[in-house]
Every structure is written in C-alpha cells, then in structure tokens.
Structure 1
C-alpha cells in the first residue's frame, strides 16, 4: 500500500489554477530534485479530468531529451477521476478512467498500488481527497507573489482542514516547499 502525495504550485494567496505565473521563477535544479523525490516513489499518477486534459497534450509528445520528467509522466500508469470521460487511453498512453469520484474506489486503488500515487494540480479532486482523509502528504510549492484571483485549493466557505507540518524548505528561486500531513492529536 502506498501513500497519496499531492503536489501543488500555489501563490501566497492560495491560487493554484493554471500556474503560468511560475515561469518567471524558472525551474532550478533544487526544485526539480524536490519534485523528483515525489515522483521517484510513485508507481501511479492520480489526476482529475481537467488536469488530465491539460497534461495529456503537454506531456504525451515530450521525450527525455525535452524534459527529464517525461518518462515518468508518459510511462507511469495514470488514473483519471471523471464522470465525463470514458476513454483516457486513446488520449494518453497508460491512462485509465476510474469514473466519478468515489472515496472507497480511491482507498482500494491506494491499497492495491505498490508504491505511491502522485497527484499534481487537480484542485477539485484534491479537495475531495482532503475531505475524505486520503491525502498522506500535501506538498505546497508556495511562490512569492499574490495574484488576487483564481482557483484556490481551499475555497471560500470550505470546512476547516487541520494539517500537521511535516517539513519546510526554501528553494533557490524563492519558492517555499511546505509539506503537510493529516493533523495529529
């Protein structure tokens, strides 16, 4: 049984959607290594439909020469939580539709997976996973800017979500990598 490890790029004001604002900060080696640690322990990728539809065209044509992360994203089994897609495999190799969100189905997948499940983006899915206590590690890469508007991981009116700090590190591009787990005690 593996862990569910979520990776989110976020601003200091909590915006997580379409993080084009990350571009001006680059992708230095220490950031790549940090994310590489998450993907190295993962034998599956869990995505919501919107993120899957954004990632598929971006990653499916990349090679290791283009991006050293390409083999992980292309060769690893991807599980898509969606009630609207029926065929993910024809869109991106090694992809399976799980159907609509079902916490029990995700628990079973987690139990059956030899290795961790990596989640990137997928804010709607991550909110549900957090609410159902299925996230083992929440990795927030906090960029030093506020953008004012956009999709937030913790939306206005959402229930309180207590977490425990598991780690914090500053990266060379000014990004803070904060790791949280389920609240203890």
Structure 2
C-alpha cells in the first residue's frame, strides 16, 4: 500500500490559508532537501479544489529553469477532490475525482504514494479518517491571529513525532506519523 505525504506551511498559531506569511523568511538551505525526501517517491498529487485553482495557473507555465519543482508538479498526475469542479482543464495530467470519499482515497493510494500541499479542508478530512501517513509541517515563527487554522474542528488525532529540523531562517520542520 502506498502512503499519503502531506506538506503544509503553517504559522505558530496554525494558520495556513494565505502562504504570503512565508515570503519574509525565504527558502532556507535544506528546505528543498526535506521536501524532496518524501516528494521523490510520490507518483500522484492529491489536491482540494481551492488549492488546485491556485496552483494550476502558477505551476502550469513554469519550467525547470524557473523552478526545480516544476517537472514534478507538471508531469505528475494530479487528482482533484471536488464536488463542484466538472473538469480539471488548464493543467496537464489533472483529473477530478469528485466529492471527498475516504474509500476512493484508500483505493487511490493502494498502489502509489500521494503528495498533498495546502488543501486544508481535504487534509482535515484525511486526518479525521486516519488516511495520512506522514504530516510534514514547516512552522514559521510568526503568529497571525487570523486565517483558517489547519487543525480547526479536529480533536483526538494522535500523532507521533518522527523527525524534526531547524533551518537558519527560523522555520522548523516537524514530521509526524500516525500514532495509531
């Protein structure tokens, strides 16, 4: 069985909604290696509708010369969880799965590792259904006091700290696995 690897940029108070808070901190040495350590095994990207609609115009025209992550994002099959999108046009290798269905996600991860970035509503549902194998939080040293929080509405989700890293820009990487 494959794994679901989630990567989130969050603040100390758990906000993830508007990643512009990351800009003042840059992308420190080592952050790319951490992300690549689990992205490289993924053969599918799982996204919620909002994240798909933000990522598609941003990534679909990027090349490896623009960003080393462009080939992964553009060449890998993207699976969009949405009850409102009928098609995933505008970004190559994208398909709509339909509304959230835990059994459909289990089936999808049966023979592949999946990567998720952002997609907070989807991540919360997957956490509730205990479908996330690795949760990678890149925690930025800032408190926003507003915005959607990653863990809003969740309770009793035991996790086990698997690894951690501290980067020169003050960002902390916390890697969690399921405790159950």
Same fold flag (TM > 0.5): yes
Partner of 1:8: 8
- TM-score, normalised by the number of residues in structure 2: 0.97
- The total of aligned residue pairs comes to 180
Say if 2:87 is the partner of 1:91: no
Alignment partner, residue 62 of structure 2: 62
Q: Segments of 4+ in structure 1 off by > 3 A? A: none
Match of 2:121 in 1: 124
- Structure 1 window deviating more from structure 2 (160-169 vs 102-111): it is 160-169
Q: Could you tell me whether the CA contact under 8 Å between 1:30 and 1:172 is conserved in 2?
A: no
Aligned to 1:149: 146
Unmatched 5+ residue regions in structure 2? none
Uncovered stretches (5+) of structure 1, i.e. residues with no partner: none
Note if contact 1:4-1:117 (Cα within 8 Å) is conserved in structure 2. Answer: yes
Question: Which residue of 148, 154, 161 corresponds with 1:158?
Answer: 154
Counterpart Cα distance in 1 of 2:33 and 2:85: 33
CA RMSD of aligned residues (A): 1.0
